[in-house]
Chain A
Amino acid sequence: MSSKDKGWREISPAGVCWKSSGTYLTGDWKTYTPVRDTEKCTKCLLCTIYCPDGAIHWKKDKGDIEFDLSFCKGCGICANECPTKAITMKIE
């Protein structure tokens, strides 16, 4: 909550969203952050499929994956599913 948030007279009634959910950074909920060991990672991309928030992206230009920590909720599914155990969850 910040003073930049709108006052009650300025917002649409009934909770109608005036911003896309893309601007709502759910990543600030997390307690654990995924940390990847690039030596162990085979870039199989299973983690990108399993991530429930779509917060792991394949970056074609870099030829590598990237965690979008703005949306990662720290659930640890990626670490659990990683076949080479290249991802570990570290407390923030």
Chain B
Amino acid sequence: MKSAVKQEVHGLNGDEAVALAVKQADVDVVAAYPITPQTIIVEKFSEYVASGEVNTEYVCTESEHSAMAACLAASAVGARTFTATASAGMALMHEMLFVTSGCRAPVVMAVANRALSAPLNIHGDHSDSMAERDSGWIQMYAENAQEVYDSMLQAFRIAEHLDVQLPVMVGLDGFTLSHTLENVQVMLDDVVSRFVGTRQLPNVVTHEGKTVPYKLDPANPMTMGPVALQNYYFEFKRQQEEAMQNALRIIQQIHDEYAELTGRRYGDGLLEQYQLDDAEIAIVCAGSTAGTVKTVIDDLRAGGIKAGLLRIRTFRPFPAIQIAKSLEKAKAVAVMDKSISFGGNGGALFHETRHALYDAHTRPYMVNYVYGLGGRDVSPSQIRGIYEDLRKIMQTKHVDELVKYVGLRE
């Protein structure tokens, strides 16, 4: 695809790509607390603030719980708001994540995905954001630094869309993406400004009977997130679910608009298929591992093996119907999870992908591979081994072990 606008190639790691996107998106407030491997994002952004390159109010908070509370407050007065975190920081935000989504505050957050303690580990896996999958946030996972930049800019549009009004987190694998330098094509500031636009506010009816924009404003007082007990709480939660379902459409729409502009496309914005059309055996995964899987597929295809990939770019809302459509023709499918749901028989990606296929006309054999916990590397030969297993399952029509562990010492 051709780019409709002029772009420049910058050498950026994933964290720097986030900081640059946030700078170009003209964010009003950033409230954050540094944590590895997200630190470069806030370091880089604080440099932009110090050198006067941005008009952003930068709030150094004393914890991630406070960071998210400050973001919620800023978003409530109508500010475009950003933060970044990882691992323990995100765990500390846990309570405020629900308050933010419940208040329908379109905060955007970058998550440099990292393992959770104990034992202490600073490296990349998806334990942190997967643990927050029911927090009411939209979740996207990027494959490389380029997609990190692109997804961040799309995230503001998605979050602030009037049919969505939900916070969005963009996951980038700790170190693998956050600290690895890549060539990233970036748009010029004025083009980004036009793409992201200014924040829109939905209208709400207040206790005074007035219809006013949804923001805290002394001229139009309103109460956000008050008490709602047995009589109304349920209705507000149903509204959040509706917004999530709307997001399936809006994410694709904004992704298309962005693709027209830049020439870069990630499937339909929800899922990316690689050599999947005629694939007999397929891997499902999220994040940077998809890049390794693609190179293995190229090798296997050269040898006549019909291997394919389905990359989950958007995990919340979960595109279940689209996943079923993508995988129902495959004979055997391996879902790779970079986190584990203890006692849940595998990882969340596996659970939900398998659930999505329950109503499919034809169902492939499915198997789960938990991998990369604590940042353990996953190699092309290990992925080749997974495809080997899938061929065996396809031939024998039998799954001997539902959940397997990649690269684990016995």
A1-B230, A1-B231, A11-B232 known; A16+B239 contact, CB < 8 A: no
Say if the beta carbon of A14 comes within 8 Å of chain B.
yes
Cα A15 to Cα B207 with chains together (Å): 11
Indicate if the CB atoms of B224 and A15 lie closer than 8 Å.
yes
In the complex, what residue of chain A is closest to B228 when comparing beta carbons?
A: A15
Q: Which of B202, B208, B209, B231 contacts A5 (CB 8 A)?
A: B231
List, in ascending order, chain B residues with CB within 8 A of A59's CB: none
CA gap between A28 and B103 in the complex, in Å: 27
A20 within 8 A of B: yes
Q: Is the CB of A17 within 8 A of B236?
A: no
- Please report the C-alpha to C-alpha distance between residue A17 and residue B236 in the assembled complex, in whole angstroms: 12
Q: Which of B206, B214, B231 touches A13 (beta carbons < 8 Å)?
A: B214
Interface string of A48-71 (1 = CB under 8 A from B): 000000000000000000000000
How far apart are B160's CB and chain A's nearest CB, in angstroms? 14
Contact check, B236 vs A14: say whether CB atoms are below 8 A apart: yes
Interface Cβ pair total, 8 Å cutoff: 65
Mask, B217-251, CB within 8 Å of A = 1, is: 00000111110101110111011001100000000
Chain B CB within 10 Å, residue with most, of A1, A5, A15 = A15
B165 and A17 within 8 A (CB): no
In which size bucket is the chain B interface?
20 to 34
In the complex, what distance in Å separates the CA atom of A11 from the CA atom of B243? 14
How many angstroms between the C-alpha atoms of A5 and B166 in the bound complex?
25
A residues near B235, Cβ cutoff 8 Å: 6-8, 11
| Cα separation A55 to B265 with both chains bound (whole Å) | 63
Q: Which residues of B contact A38 (CB under 8 A)?
A: none
With both beta carbons as reference points, the residue of chain B lying nearest to A10 in the complex is identified as B235
B104 at the interface (CB under 8 A from A): yes
Beta-carbon contact of B207 and A11 below 8 Å: no
Q: Are B222 and A11 in contact (CB under 8 A)?
A: no
Complex CA distance for A12 and B204, rounded to whole angstroms: 6
The answer to whether A15 and B225 have CB atoms under 8 Å apart is yes
A14 touches B231 (CB 8 A): no
Give the distance in Å from the alpha carbon of A6 to the alpha carbon of B165 in the complex: 21
Q: Does B321 contact A (CB under 8 A)?
A: no
Which chain A positions have C-beta within 8 A of B238? 8
CB A17 to nearest CB in B, in angstroms, measures: 4
The reply to whether A15 and B231 contact each other, CB–CB distance below 8 Å, is no
Cα of A20 to Cα of B207 in the assembled complex, Å? 5
Residue in chain A with minimal CB distance to B233: A15
User: Which of A1-57 touch B at CB < 8 Å?
Assistant: 1, 5-8, 11-21
- Please tell me which one of the listed residues B102, B208, B234 contacts residue A14 in the complex, with CB atoms under 8 A apart: B102
Task: Give B209's nearest chain A residue, CB to CB.
Answer: A18
CA distance A38 to B238 in the complex (A): 51
B5 at the interface (CB under 8 A from A): no
Are the CB atoms of A14 and B232 closer together than 8 Å?
Answer: no
Which residues of chain B in 242-264 are interfacial with respect to chain A, using CB atoms and an 8 Å cutoff? 242-243
C-alpha spacing A66/B239, complex, angstroms: 42
CB distance from A31 to the nearest CB of B (A): 17
Tell me the smallest distance from the CB of B341 to a CB of chain A, in Å: 30
Contact B207 A14 (CB under 8 A): no
User: Is B206 a contact partner of A15 (Cβ separation < 8 A)?
Assistant: no
State whether B239 touches A19 (Cβ < 8 A). no
Is B205's CB within 8 Å of the partner chain A?
yes
Which residues of chain A are near B231, meaning CB under 8 Å?
1, 5
Is the Cβ of A16 less than 8 Å from the Cβ of B204?
yes
* Shortest Cβ distance from residue B333 to the other chain A in the assembled complex, whole angstroms: 36
Contact for B239 among A11, A17, A18, A21, CB less than 8 A? A11
What is the minimal beta-carbon distance from A24 to any residue of chain B, in angstroms?
9
Q: Among the listed B102, B205, B234, which residue makes an inter-chain contact with A12, where contact means beta carbons less than 8 Å apart?
A: B205
Do residues A16 and B222 form an inter-chain contact, with CB atoms below 8 A? Answer: yes
* Contact residue among A6, A8, A13, A20 (Cβ-Cβ distance under 8 Å from B204): A13
Whether B202 contacts A17 by the Cβ 8 Å rule is: no
A19 to B231, CA, bound (A): 14
State in angstroms the CA–CA spacing of A20 and B205 once bound together.
Answer: 12
Nearest 3 Cβ contacts at the A-B interface:
A8-B235, A12-B204, A8-B238
Using CB atoms and an 8 Å cutoff, list the residues of chain A in contact with chain B: 1, 5-8, 11-21
List 18 contacting pairs A-B, 8 Å CB cutoff, sorted by A. Answer: A8-B235, A8-B242, A11-B236, A12-B204, A13-B104, A13-B214, A13-B243, A14-B103, A14-B104, A14-B224, A15-B226, A16-B204, A16-B205, A16-B223, A17-B207, A18-B205, A18-B207, A18-B209
